[in-house]
Structure 1
Amino acid sequence: MQGSGASDRLDGRFGRHHLRSMANLSVLDLSFVGSGSTPDQALRDSLDLARHVDRLGYGRYWLAEHHALPSVASPAPDIMVGQIAAATRTIRVGSGGIMLPNHAPLMVAERFKVLEALFPGRIDLGLGRAPGTDGITAQALRRREAPRGGDDFLDRLQELMLWETGGFPEGHPFNTVAVMPAGVPLPPIFLLGSSDYSAHLSARLGLGFAFAQHFASFDARFPMLDYRRGFQPSRWGAKPHAILAVAVVCAETDAQAERLALSTQLATLRRERGEYAPIPTLAEAEAYPYGDAERARIARGRDRLHVGAPETVCALLAGLAEATQADEIMVVCAIPDQEARRRSYSLLAQAWGLAETAVAA
C-alpha cells in the first residue's frame, strides 16, 4: 500500500509545494469525549492538540458549539477560543461556530471584541444557524421564537453587524448602547453551512464561508463554487475565502488508518440513529456486531470520511480542494485515542508541506 506509485503521485501532481499553494490547512475540534474517558479530559486534550498543531504550522483552530451531547465536551466555544489562543503562539483561533440563534447578538459582539482585544489579529467569528442540539435543549437555551415561527437567523445576523457598524436607524434605542471594549473591531466573520443557504448569504454580504462536508448530504462543489461566483466585496471582505471542513483519519499505512477509522464510523452510525454516546474505543468498534444494513450505511457515508496513509489522504484532499476551489481545508479527526489523533495531524502536516520536520508526537 506504500508503493512507489503513491509516492510518485505525492511528489508529482500532488507535490508538497503544489498542495500548499492550492489550499491552506486548518483544524476543527469538537472536544470529542472518548469512551472510558471524561469530558474534562476532552477539554484538556483540546488544549494539548491546539499546542501541537500550532507547532506543526496549521493555519486555524476552530471550536464548535454543541449542547447536551455526551460525545462533545464543550458547549462554549468562546471560552475555549480564549483558552486556546492563550496556550498557542501564532495559529488563528475561532468559533466553528457560534450558533447565533442561541445568543443575543450584543453578547456575541462583546465577547468576540474582548477576544480580539486580547489576541489581536488571531481571532475568527464563525456563525451557524442551527441550534447545535435537540429541540428541548434549544428551548432551555431560551431561544426566542421568530415571528410566525420562522427562522430569525437573518435578524440576529443583521443586528450583530449593526453593533459593529453603528448603523441602527435614527431614534433606535440601541443607538444609546456602547459596545465594549470600544475601538476594537469584530474579528472576521464566516458563515457556516451544510447546504447552499449560507453560501449564497455569505456571498451577498461579502463574508467568509465554511462548508461542513464532514456531515453534509449536500454535494460540496455547488455551494462552494456558488459562493465564489456570487461574492460581492464589502466592508467585511474584499475577496472570497472558502473553507471546506472534512473528516480525516491518517496513519502510517492505509491499513492502519482504516483500522483507526472504525471508531469514527461506529460513532457516525450511532449519531445518525440519534445515539450520542462517547466515541467508541477501537476495541469496542472491532467487537461491534455490524448488520448488513449497518455496513451498507457506513459504505454510503465513506465519501464524507477520508482515510489512509499521508499520500492517500493528500491525494483525496487535493482533489476536493481543486473541485471546490477551497482556499482552505479544515480537518476534523474523531479518533478517541489522543496520541493517534496527534499523530494523524502530524503525518498530514508533513505530507502537505506544513512542516518538513513534523515530529512523531
Structure 2
Amino acid sequence: MTQLSVLDLSFVSSGSTPAQALRDSLDLARHVDGLGYARYWLAEHHALPSVASPAPDIMVGQIAAATRRLRVGSGGIMLSNHAPLMVAERFKVLEALFPGRIDLGLGRAPGTDGITAQALRRREAPRGGDDFLDRLQELMLWETDGFPEGHPFNAVAVMPAGVPLPPIFLLGSSDYSANLAGRLGMGFAFAQHFSAFDAHGPMLDYRRLFRPSRWGEGPHAILAVAAICAGTDGEAERLALSTQLATLRRERGEYAPIPTLAEAEAYPYSEAERARIARGRDRLHVGSPETLRATLGALAEATRADELMVVCAIPDQGARRRSYALLAQAWSMASVRAA
C-alpha cells in the first residue's frame, strides 16, 4: 500500500497569527508522528500572509527534534534563492543531528513574487535567466568533491565533514523536474495540489527514465495532494469551503490568511465564482474516510506513487488533526484488507 506523508505550509488562519501557525506545525508533526505517517515536509514561501514559514531548514530541525520516527525534510528549498554551499552545509548539519531522518527536496521556482525574489538574491552575483541547473550541479559537486583541480572551490571543505547530504528529491509541477530527476537518479515529488498539469505523465515518465546513481538505487515518486477528510462526505465538503475560498482569492491575486469556516459560509459567491471553484475540484480531494480511501487509492495506483503527501488547509486545527487521523485510519484499514 502506498505510504502517507504530510506537506505542511504552516498556514496562517484568519484571526490567528504567523507565530501561532508555526506552533501549530509542531503540534501537527507530533500528532502525525504517532499516526504512522512516513514523512513531514515543510515548504518555502516568502511574503505571503497565508504562509508563516519562509525557512524550511529551520523548521526541519525543530520538527525533527520534536518527533521520534518521522522523516523530516524540505518540500522544498527553492534553490534559486540560496547559495548551493549554504544548502549543503545546513542539510549536512541536520543530517548529523538526525541521521537517517532528513530529506532535501529542491524546487526551481522562487516561492514568491518577482520583487521579493530580487530582494532575496540582492547580494548574490547575478547569474541571469533560469540558473537552477547550474545551482543543482554545483550542489552535486560540493557533495562529490567534484570541482576540477585548479578550481577555486576545490580547496573549500564542506562542514560538517564526513556527513553525507540527505536523499535529494526534485520537486515539480510539470514534466521538467520529472525527466531531470529520472535521468539523475534522484527522488521526485509532483505538486498535484496546485498544478494544472496532469500528474500521470510526469509520474510515469520519471519511472521510465530513472537511471540508478549515487543519489538513488531505484525510483521513489511522491505525489502531493490536497485532501480534506471528515466523518461524512457532507461534513468534509463543508470544511472544504475555507480552502476553496482561499484558492479563489489567490487566483485573483488576493493574498490573505486562510478564511474561517464562518467567513467562507457567509461569502456571497457569484455563479462565475462557483464555476471557477468547480473547475479546480480535480486538485482538491474531499470526503469521508471511505471516499478518500477509494479516490486517493485509485490515484496512487494510476500514477504508481510510492507516497501520497497530503496538504490540508483547514483553518480549525482540531478539524485538521482529525482529518489526518481519519485518513491514516482509512489507509491502515485498506492495508489490512490488501494483505
Which of 58, 83, 92 is equivalent to 2:71? 92
Deviation at 1:275, TM superposition (A): 1.3
Matched with 1:271 is 250
Matched with 2:298 is 319
Which of 278, 292, 298 is equivalent to 2:271? 292
Amino acid aligned to 1:230: L
Which of 16, 30, 46 is equivalent to 1:51? 30
d(CA) in 1 for partners of 2:60, 2:153: 28
Deviation at 1:137, TM superposition (A): 0.3
Amino acid aligned to 2:56: P
Deviation at 1:354, TM superposition (A): 7.8
Q: Which runs of 5+ in 1 are unaligned?
A: 1-20, 357-361
Deviation at 1:281, TM superposition (A): 0.1
d(CA) in 1 for partners of 2:314, 2:304: 28
Report the identity percentage: 86
Task: Tell me if the contact between 2:293 and 2:334 (Cα under 8 Å) persists in the aligned partners.
Answer: no
Matched with 2:137 is 158
Amino acid aligned to 2:215: W
Change (3 A) 1:284 1:341: same
Q: 2:307 aligned with 1:328, yes or no?
A: yes
Task: For residue 280 of structure 2, give the secondary structure of its aligned residue in structure 1.
Answer: helix
1:9-44 deviation per Cα after TM superposition (whole angstroms, max 9, x unaligned)? xxxxxxxxxxxx2x1100000000000000000000
Matched with 1:26 is 5
d(CA) in 2 for partners of 1:247, 1:49: 16
Deviation at 1:145, TM superposition (A): 7.2
d(CA) in 1 for partners of 2:251, 2:263: 18
Calculate the TM-score normalised by the size of structure 2: 0.97
Task: Tell me if the contact between 1:49 and 1:342 (Cα under 8 Å) persists in the aligned partners.
Answer: yes
Which of 99, 102, 105 is equivalent to 1:123? 102
d(CA) in 2 for partners of 1:85, 1:210: 20
1:184-333 matches, within 5 Å, as 184-333=163-312
Deviation at 1:355, TM superposition (A): 11
d(CA) in 2 for partners of 1:183, 1:152: 28
Amino acid aligned to 1:236: W
Deviation at 1:184, TM superposition (A): 0.2
Deviation at 1:142, TM superposition (A): 1.2
d(CA) in 1 for partners of 2:176, 2:197: 11
The total of aligned residue pairs comes to 334
d(CA) in 2 for partners of 1:114, 1:274: 38
d(CA) in 1 for partners of 2:292, 2:214: 37
Task: Tell me if the contact between 1:105 and 1:157 (Cα under 8 Å) persists in the aligned partners.
Answer: yes
Q: Which runs of 5+ in 2 are unaligned?
A: none
d(CA) in 2 for partners of 1:224, 1:346: 27
Moved over 6 A (4+): none
Change (3 A) 1:316 1:145: farther
Calculate the TM-score normalised by the size of structure 1: 0.91
Deviation at 1:274, TM superposition (A): 1.2
